[in-house]
Copies of this chain bind each other. A is one copy, B any other.
Amino acid sequence: MTTAGRTRQAARNNEVILAAAREVFLADQRAPVSAVAERAGVGISALYRRYPSKEDMLRTLCGDGLQRFIAEAVRAMEIPGDWAAFESFVRGVVDADVHSLTVHLAGTFPPDEQLAADATRANILAEALFERARPDMRPEAVPADLTMLLEMCAAVRVPDAERTRELRGRYLAMLLDGLRRGGPLPGPAPTAEELNWRWHPAGTETR
């Protein structure tokens, strides 16, 4: 800002705006565009110069989240211990607060070819990590459970972002301990359709 020329300032705004958008839409998926501008400390024009529409902004954000998810998985793959790799992966995803982006934004804009490809890749990676760690888990656990665990962690939220991270760590620890041991689980695991319903054409839903 102080030392910045016009172009430098503009380049900087790219990140600032994306970060602001992430924060705002993480807190409230239905937040207005103006809220993003306000948080970024820029005018609305600055947003519309970069993204043709709000929808494009959300798509970009979602894709970005998916990339981070994939990056976490790739990183964790290198970790030697099977359970350690899985745990590090999940902690990384929860810590980066990536799940809300990829899931809670679903349905707010039509899917996308690139997005679908990334989602598939993300699923494959996550499943691989899960399978590696499965020997350490209770027998009924399935990869689909991971999605739900992430969803549950994302539900932990307090006004302060840093504290939210801390609390999520606490409950993720509980969840992972629960994933490892305990008596038999009631009811069947979630199916793929049940996990992805947000993307589907929104049929008549009971709730």
Contact = CB atoms under 8 A, between A and B. Distances in A.
A206 B173 CA distance: 24
A23 B186 CA distance: 24
Interface in A125-162: 145, 148-149, 151-162
Interface string A164-207: 10110111011111111111011111100010010000010111
A121 interface: no
A27 B202 CA distance: 13
Contacts of A178: 173-179, 182
A163 interface: yes
A91 B148 CA distance: 18
Given A155-B155, A207-B23, A182 B177 contact: yes
Tell me the interface secondary structure of chain A in the complex: helix
B154 A155 contact: yes
Contacts of A174: 145, 175, 178-179, 182, 185
A104 to B, nearest CB: 10
Q: Please classify how large the interface on chain A is, using the bins under 10, 10 to 19, 20 to 34, 35 or more.
A: 35 or more
A102 to B, nearest CB: 15
Given A155-B151, A167-B190, A175 B173 contact: no
A148 B145 CA distance: 19
Contacts of A153: 152
A26 interface: yes
B152 A206 contact: no
A154 B207 CA distance: 13
Interface of A: 23, 26-27, 30, 145, 148-149, 151-164, 166-167, 169-171, 173-183, 185-190, 194, 197, 203, 205-207
6 contacts: A154-B155, A170-B185, A173-B186, A174-B178, A175-B178, A177-B177
